[in-house]
A and B are shown apart, each in its own frame.
Chain A
């Protein structure tokens, strides 16, 4: 299936792009996270990463659907 990945902050700088359409065999958010980490050889503290699908925080076992917009959320730092 295809999903839209968006990247922000430190992750954007590491992957070198702000977004992409990704053809993936991952079926849930956790698998996709690990796929991205491997693809870009990211040095992330996974325990601090959250995932959003279609603009909502989701649990890591959330299933992916065709066309989802997925964002890896590093620790937020607003304010």
Chain B
């Protein structure tokens, strides 16, 4: 239900993971590498993961979505390695009988992935040295502030 891959993410292959005859709605999110961030021109992104834990945490998130929302299937895959502009970095897909729950579940999964899955990205720029992005706002949209990742900030 959650994978890390070093290869290209194929939309068609991902979509096959969530087909379900009960589903009247398929909602997916295709997160791409864009050519700018916070006023800087970005040339590429380098993703690194703590793979064993990332897969474990990602599975938990998808299971939470299946438990919280009235959906049939859910799948998420995140790329690792050096990505170029327009590459798909993360793909989330959900199938459900009706669209409302699929939209909500899809948003839940991507928000939680960004807040909890141990992955990091190094941004490469046109005219300045590359840096590791420290996204202090990434957990702002996390949905449940009682889950484990939220409960362990440094005191």
Question: Which positions in A face B, CB cutoff 8 Å?
Answer: 6, 8-10, 12-13, 30, 33, 46-52, 55-60, 71, 73-79
Contacts and interface: CB of A to CB of B under 8 A. Distances in A.
A60 B50 contact: no
B85 interface: no
A48 B134 contact: yes
B100 interface: no
A76 B90 contact: no
Contact of A6 (B31, B50, B119, B135): B50
Nearest to A33: B154
Contacts of A55: 52-53, 56
A58 to B, nearest CB: 6
Interface stretch (B9-17, B19-27, B66-74, B110-118): B110-118
Given A8-B50, A50-B154, 8 more contacts: A10-B134, A47-B153, A60-B155, A76-B138, A77-B132, A77-B133, A78-B121, A79-B89
A46 B152 contact: no
A76 B155 CA distance: 18
